[in-house]
Structure 1
């Protein structure tokens, strides 16, 4: 099984598109009501994708713990965050080591969607508490 993509609501497509292009996503579908992005992996190849659908009812979710969270992994997390700050991206939390062995930064997109930029390395799929398979 391979996760193809996920789609979230946004209330301002232009702001959403600009925001995710700033993060480094690659725009692959662009319509007034729907956009899709692909993510480049460390080798520069396109991999997973995500999309946004325009809705007038997209709730403003300011770091709502019940909200959906998008995770984007990058080995050079701290460098990436510094580059994004230079581009004007504002973080709710700068990179921090977590008790579950991931290093994460937190930000909120223009529609209130929570985003974590992180690096987990081997612990992403093989944490010390992994269930034997």
Structure 2
């Protein structure tokens, strides 16, 4: 159980980080007139690096255990409920960080929302895999 939680958490965080880099890259291309792919990538990585530490700490210390507890207690048959519940929890977490610091951080939303979506989706796939293994046995 712990191994699957760790794999799901790390995989969803890396996917969320990839989406955050793409969103920051799109943001950079709207600001810079001269389009140089290397410059856009470096600036996007710089923009992502500002929230990487706090996002990683919040995700692995707060969000992943809360998602584990929340999704572990749910016994829903609708597969779409798991990603939506995860997105709601991570959006509330990012908003509470913004409320605490008195400044909303869109980069944290860009990291948490895709990561939570994939966390919920992979959680549902793990549940379905466990059900199929039990039914086959």
What TM-score, normalized by structure 1, do the two folds share?
0.30
**Structure with higher RCO (Cα < 8 A, 6+ apart):** 2
Counting strand residues as a fraction of each chain, which structure ranks higher?
Answer: 1
Structure having the higher Rg: 2
What TM-score, normalized by structure 2, do the two folds share?
0.30
